[in-house]
Amino acid sequence: MANIEEAKKTVAEFLRNTLSVKDVKVIKAAKAGDGWEAEAEVYEESSFIKSIGLSTKVQDRNIYIVRLNSSLEVESYERKGQAGLPE
């Protein structure tokens, strides 16, 4: 089975590629059954600012949950919410 560092690296690489973002910070990683579950902090362009048509570099800090199997293949991912805001 893979170690925690390999799991963190896989999660960060997956989110960078999937979300087309530059920086991903894995803030939690733990074994979950035969695989891994991780939470990562990602800064993305503000969807609200974008929806009202403003041109700015405002970014939202979002938290994503990523689940990996024992072979470090991504089984699922979801946005948990914005950091600092109630879910």
d(CA 65, CA 83): 13
- Asked, for residue 28, whether it belongs to a domain, the answer is yes
Query: What band does 79 get if pLDDT is binned at 50, 70 and 90?
Result: very high
Domain count, the chain: 1
Give the global pTM.
0.84
**Does residue 21 lie in a domain region?**
yes
Residue 34 belongs to some domain of the structure = yes
CATH code, 21: 3.10.450
Containing domain of residue 56, as a range?
Answer: 4-82
Q: Which residues contact 22 (CB under 8 A, 6 or more apart)?
A: 16
Share of the chain above pLDDT 90, in %: 70
Q: Do the domain assignments include residue 54?
A: yes
The number of residues making up the chain comes to 87
Whether 48 is covered by a domain: the verdict is yes
Q: What is the pLDDT of residue 84?
A: 59
* Residue 60 domain-assigned (yes or no): yes
Tokens representing 70 are 């024992």
Within-domain flag for 74: yes
